[in-house]
Amino acid sequence: MKPIQVIPRAALPLLGAALAALPAQAQETAHSIDEKINEVVGNITGPFVNFIFAPFPGTSFPWIVLWLVIAATIFTLYFAFVQFRAFPHSIALVSGKYSDPDDAGEVSHFQALATALSGTVGLGNIAGVAVAVSIGGPGATFWMILAGLMGMASKFTECTLGVKYRNEYADGTVSGGPMYYLSKGMAERGFAGFGKVLAICFSIVCVLGSLGGGNMFQANQAHAQLANIFGDYPGWITGVIFAAIVFAVIIGGLKSIAQVTEKIVPFMGVLYVGTALIIIAINYDRIGWALGQIFDGAFTGLGVAGGLVGALIQGFKRAAFSNEAGVGSAAIAHSAVRTKEPITEGFVSLLEPFIDTVVICTMTALVIVITGVLQVDAETGQYIWNAELGRVETLGDVSGVALTSAAFGSAISWFPYVLALAVILFAFSTMISWSYYGLKAWTYMFGEGKFQEVSFKVLFCLFVIIGAAMNLGPVIDFSDAAIFAMALFNIIGLYFLMPIVKAEMTSYTSRLKSGEIKRYA
């Protein structure tokens, strides 16, 4: 696959100047290191990626995407559209209306949601959407929103189980997530052995997912955005800098960096959505047209190769990668909340795909479509398909985060600089969250201990460098494959355990109606 294109800018502050000073030979050597890493890692991950995205026999539909869509549909129907019915109650829970004041000082529903969101809202929302729209056309947005709405039911199921089957240790710390509900919950249902196998398999792919989507993809796109601003330079340089900072936080215990980042990230999120809304408002006369493109494209493809199916696959893939519903990662973050009712965390967690996909991803997609960075043939009104690159022609011939940047930059010239900062911070906070998810899976397999912890964390840092050095193609494919593989084992368990969630929901709802569950505010 072609490496991501960059737009050299006139202004090349510090970094650009420093790199320009590098002797030509050193730059060549640097690029050849990139190529070597690409070749070696690409060869290793290839077979795994091919297996995960193998098409359903006789179709072009990857079986794993179908797997996720079917699961979200089943959970939506099984819980009778819980994502819509329970939405107001979820808001009430997050705002603390049902929180016992005596529990103050414990992890609140809001905090669990915010932490899970900081792991979820990341480059998937900025770069991933751009990839979906440039490959699947504007129609991919429609399927992405639909997948986001249905994914709310998957998230509800897994996060309820995450709290119900978490481990609480004598020192008061808590560990939860699919590993625990797959082993403990399945044992309760009489499938102890099978549950254990699922838990181990999940843990293996969770480690891979944390190294892929939670790490390499983030590092890669952060580098792409930096190169976009400062001019082309070798990826491993960004990788080494990022790896050093991540190392300082997760191994060196420099909590201040993480805390500062975590405080800025929500602000950047609001700034991002706010700017997107401003751009949409500036182009108010094109809103109807853009929505029309999204709706028409969803069913006709508008000239994009693959048509309806192409748009649908891209939409569902990007939604799953962005909101992680059915993947099981959020259940790890949500499981530490202090509540007597596991189902309440399920209700709260269903807001996550809504915020992540239905709101933030849609904003990105709308800005890309509305600003016209996707090239349209003036005569036919169809998008111009570049068969060689396997995507729609774009302004400046860019893809991924650079396309989003170009779209925002076409309306507000200085916004790419803000976006670069947002991308770096999103990437960083996502990495910190995923280093934790990966570590939990790692210690589930190898046991708790200093050696086990440090070995995983060092591995994690190495993958930051690899991720930043690789081309977008192999990185994004491996990221997708690892994340989707998590969903494979998690969802099998969810099918077995969904009656337990239903029993919890029925009991809670009846007690809520009878007034037994008290509202405090």
Partner 1 sequence: MATETFVVAYENKEGDDGLLDYAIARAKKDGAALLLVHILEWSPYKFLTPQEIEERHARRKEELTRAKEVILDPALAKVSAAGLQADCRIRYGSVVELVAEIASEAGASMIFVGRSGTQSMTARIFGSVPLGLAQIAPVPTVIVP
Residue numbers at the binding site for partner 1 (CB under 8 A): 96, 99, 101, 104-108, 110-112, 114-115, 118-119, 168, 171-175, 255, 258-259, 262-263, 266, 332-333, 336-338, 432-433, 436-437
Nearer to partner 1, 38 or 429 (CB): 429
* Residue whose CB is less far from partner 1, 119 or 353: 119
SS3 55: strand
Q: What is the DSSP letter of 394?
A: B
**What is the number of alpha carbons within 13 Å of residue 231 lying toward its C-beta?**
13
* Residue placing its CB nearer to partner 1 in the complex, 302 or 422: 422
Shortest reach from residue 104's CB to partner 1, in Å: 4
Q: Which is nearer to partner 1, 128 or 177 (CB)?
A: 177
| Nearest to partner 1 of 107, 376 (CB atom) | 107
Q: How far is the CB of 433 from partner 1 (least distance, A)?
A: 6
Write out the two tokens for 359: 């709101």
CB of 156 to partner 1, least distance (A): 19
Of 262 and 324, which CB lies nearer to partner 1 in the complex structure?
262
If the CB atoms of residues 133 and 427 are measured against partner 1, the closer one turns out to be: 427
Distances (CA, A) of 437 to 64, 152, 195, 275: 22, 20, 20, 31
- Joined together, the tokens standing for residue 216 give 């390499």
> In 3D, which of 182, 442, 482 has the Cα closest to residue 320?
482
* Shortest reach from residue 344's CB to partner 1, in Å: 14
- Shortest Å, Cβ 108 to partner 1: 4
Distance CA 95, CA 383 (A): 44
- DSSP line for 288-331: HHHHHHHHHHHHH-TT-TTHHHHHHHHHHHHHHHHH-TTTSHHH
The number of residues making up the chain comes to: 521
Buried residues in 344-373 as b, exposed as e (16+ CB within 10 A): bbbbbbbbbbbbbbbbbbbbbbbbbbbbeb
Residue 233 to residue 239: CA distance in whole angstroms = 12
3-state class (DSSP) for residue 488: helix
83 vs 99 by CB, closer to partner 1? 99
Name the minimum Å distance from CB 249 to partner 1: 9
Q: What are the tokens at 212? A: 């892929």
Residue that has been written with the tokens 């911070």 in this structure: 425
Angle among Cα 76, 80, 82 to the nearest 5 degrees reads 70
CB of 174 to partner 1, least distance (A): 6
Q: Which is nearer to partner 1, 17 or 104 (CB)?
A: 104
- The CA distance from 341 to 208, in Å, is 32
* Nearest distance from C-beta of residue 119 to partner 1, angstroms: 7
Q: Minimum Å distance from CB 154 to partner 1?
A: 21
